[in-house]
């Protein structure tokens, strides 16, 4: 797709996203444009869907390359499992899954493009940039359709304080005035997170966490909601005294591979920063911690 959009007088001052919606662009197509290299430009400069546009401006929309990511062979992420239809990466912290305006060539998608240049990158689950662990990607449209919604995940998290519940059931919505932050609000989408406390010491608690739904920032929001934000999660009130990013790791992922119909559970080892934090908890705890 390659199109030129001329902003009308009636659209003057509206956000680009609003203009695209009113003109009938689907959410999926807008997402493809956002993920494409130079997918939306104004005067040769990248423009976001939240940016205001003005009458007479020409917006160039291009997503021919939205599935052809720039290969970045210098990137590294361990492959935990792979077959003819799937690959599971151990995504390191600080690596985004998808390219964005600020991350064009340093994502898991760019690494996939280097390793599988003939394939489209189709991640089945997504992790926040600073969340580490298992990311499952399908190697075909068929596999993506088979896997969507039919996998399960388990996380390790270190939170501030001690949770007093084994489940959080609270709706999640986008926080007003923020593009990134989420919050618990009555008009949000249903969300359920199950929590198993492993041990507590030194003001922190190690938990195994199972999200039963898949809302943006779900685990981070739910822990903050119960007064126990994740260690290192500055966005939601967590302390960075002992770790520089949210202490959240997707430790395992289970799925039935479309290649052979066999159920597999793949496990990702803890990254060094979380291992050091958890070992510190274990050393100060009377409980036996098995990871």
Annotated catalytic residues are 128
- CA distance linking residue 191 with residue 168, whole number of Å: 8
- CA distance linking residue 32 with residue 39, whole number of Å: 8
Whether residue 54 contacts residue 8, with contact meaning beta carbons closer than 8 Å, is answered with no
Helix (H, G, I), strand (E, B) or coil at 280: helix
Q: Are strands 132-138 and 248-256 parallel, antiparallel or unpaired?
A: parallel
Secondary structure, 3-state, 143-170: HHHHHCCCCEEEEEEEEECCCCCCEEEC
Q: Number of helices (H) and strands (E), helices first, in the chain?
A: 6, 16
Tokens of 40: 């939306």
Q: Are strands 152-160 and 204-211 parallel, antiparallel or unpaired?
A: antiparallel
Whether residue 87 contacts residue 137, with contact meaning beta carbons closer than 8 Å, is answered with yes
> Residues 6 or more apart from 20 whose CB is under 8 A from it?
5, 30, 33, 49
Q: How many residues does the chain have?
A: 291
Q: On the CB side of 286, how many CA atoms lie within 13 Å of its CA?
A: 0
């Amino acid at each position: 797709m390659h199109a030129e959009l001329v902003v009308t007088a009636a659209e003057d001052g509206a956000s680009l996203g609003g203009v695209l919606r009113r003109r009938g662009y689907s959410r999926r197509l807008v997402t493809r444009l956002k993920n494409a290299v130079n997918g939306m430009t104004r005067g040769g400069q990248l423009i976001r869907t939240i940016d205001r546009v003005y009458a007479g401006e020409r917006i160039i929309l291009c997503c021919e390359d939205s599935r052809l990511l720039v290969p970045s062979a210098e990137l590294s992420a361990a492959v935990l499992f792979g077959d003819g239809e799937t690959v599971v990466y151990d995504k390191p912290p600080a690596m985004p899954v998808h390219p964005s305006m600020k991350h064009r060539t340093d994502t898991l998608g760019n690494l996939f493009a280097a390793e599988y240049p003939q394939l489209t990158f189709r991640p089945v689950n997504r992790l926040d940039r600073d969340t580490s662990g298992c990311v499952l990607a399908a190697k075909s449209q068929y596999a993506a359709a088979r896997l969507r919604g039919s996998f399960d995940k388990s996380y390790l998290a270190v939170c501030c304080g001690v949770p007093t519940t084994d489940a959080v059931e609270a709706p999640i919505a986008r926080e007003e005035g923020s593009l990134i932050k989420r919050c618990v609000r009555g008009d949000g989408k249903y969300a359920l997170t199950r929590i198993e406390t492993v041990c507590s010491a030194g003001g922190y608690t190690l938990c195994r966490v199972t999200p039963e739904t898949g809302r943006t920032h779900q685990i981070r929001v739910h822990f903050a909601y119960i007064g126990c934000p994740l260690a290192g999660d500055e966005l939601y009130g967590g302390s960075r005294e002992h770790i520089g990013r949210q202490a959240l790791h997707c430790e395992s992922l289970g799925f039935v591979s479309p290649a052979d119909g066999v159920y597999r559970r793949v496990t990702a080892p803890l990254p060094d920063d979380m291992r050091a934090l958890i070992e510190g908890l274990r050393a100060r705890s009377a409980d036996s911690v098995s990871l």
